[in-house]
Amino acid sequence: MSVLLDLVTIVMVSAGMVFFLAGTVGLLRFPDTLTRLHALTKADNIGLGLVVIGLVPQAGSLRDGLKLLCVWLLVLLASATVSQLVAQAARREGDSS
């Protein structure tokens, strides 16, 4: 059982890392602030989600697992807000120049 859970963790966390890598590659390769914003928010949100799902089986208790999920939800909320704020600022800058 525990081997199976470890396997789930390894697979999920590795998949999450791939998305983080994708986000970073996008950050470096995409041409401007707005497209980079896409790369960072979308890829990192799902990357963090997969890492969290992967870590839940390793949590000592149900409470710890739920705490991990709370972390992800809060990051999603923050990411949704921050991406809009940055996008607006970038758009305004683009308008004025």
Partner 1 sequence: MAPGQNGDRRAAIVRTGLLFGLWTILAGTGVADLLVGTVVAALAARVSLNLLSPGPHRVDPATAARLSLRFLLQSVLAGLDVARRAFDPRLPLRPGFIVYPTAAPPGLFRSAFTAFTSLLPGTVPAGPAPARGADAGGIVYHCLDVDAPVAAQLAAEETALAGVIRDE
Partner 2 sequence: MTIVPALDLFVAGVVLVVAVWTVAVRNTSSAVVGFVAYGLLLALVWVRLGAPDVALTEAAIGSGLTGALLIGAAARLRAGESTVAAERPGVPVRLLIAALATVVAAAIAGVLLSLPDPAPTLAPEATANAGATGLGNPITNVLMAFRAMDTMLEKVVLLLAVLGIWSLSPDAAWGGRPHLPHRAEPDAALEFLARVLTPVGVVLGIAVLWVSADHPGGAFQGATILAAMWLLVLMAGLGEVPDIGRRRLRLALVVGPAVFLTIGLGGLVVSGAFLSYPQGFAKPLILAIEFAMILTVATTLGLLVAGPPVAGPPAAGSAAAGSPARRAAP
Q: Which residues contact 79 (CB under 8 A, 6 or more apart)?
A: 41, 44, 45
Q: Please say which residue, 3 or 61, places its beta carbon nearer to partner 1.
A: 61
71-90 residues in contact with partner 2 (CB under 8 A) are 74, 77-78, 80-81, 84-85, 88
37-76 residues in contact with partner 1 (CB under 8 A) are 37-39, 41-43, 45-47, 49, 63, 66-67, 70, 76
Q: Answer for the pair 53, 88: CB distance below 8 angstroms, yes or no.
A: no
For the record, the structure tokens of 66 come out as: 């739920």
Told to check if 14 binds partner 2 by CB under 8 A, we report: no
Residues in the chain: 97
Closest CA to 5 of 49, 53, 72, 46: 53
Closest separation in Å from C-beta 80 to partner 1:
4
Where do we find the tokens 């199976």?
A: 4
List contacts with partner 1 (CB under 8 A): 18-19, 22-23, 25-26, 29-32, 34-35, 37-39, 41-43, 45-47, 49, 63, 66-67, 70, 76-77, 79-81, 83-84, 87-88, 90-92
